[in-house]
Amino acid sequence: MTQAGDEEALEASENEAGLPLYLQVASTLRTAILREIYPVGTRLPTEEALCERFEVSRHTIREALRQLRNDGLITSRPGSRPIVASPLVRAPEVLARDIGADFFDYTIGTRLDIATMDMARIAPPLAHELGLPGDEEWLCVKGYRVNVEDGRATCWNEYFIRPDYALIGRLLKRHVGPVIPLLEDLFETRIARITRSISAVPMPSEACERLAAQAGAPALRIVVRSETPDGTVAFVNRSLHPRGTLTYAIQR
Note the pLDDT tens digit of each residue in 44-88: 999 999 999 988 888 889 888 988 887 778 988 777 899 998 654
Tell me the average pLDDT across 180-186.
Answer: 81
Q: What is the mean pLDDT of the chain?
A: 82
Phi first, then psi, for residue 46 (nearest 5°) are: -65, 160
Q: How much is the pLDDT for 17?
A: 44
- Spatial separation of the C-alpha atoms in residues 145 and 234, rounded to whole Å: 20
Compare 86 and 23 and report the one with higher pLDDT.
Answer: 23
Neighbours of 179 (CB within 10 A): 25
Compare 21 and 194 and report the one with higher pLDDT.
Answer: 194
Q: Are 11 and 28 in contact (CB under 8 A)?
A: yes
Residue 2 has pLDDT above 50, yes or no: no
- Spatial separation of the C-alpha atoms in residues 87 and 98, rounded to whole Å: 10
List, for residues 108-156, the tens digit of each pLDDT value.
Answer: 778 899 999 999 999 999 999 999 998 999 999 999 999 887 888 999 9
Cα–Cα separations (whole angstroms), residue 24 to 1, 94, 149: 22, 20, 20
Whole-model pTM: value is 0.62
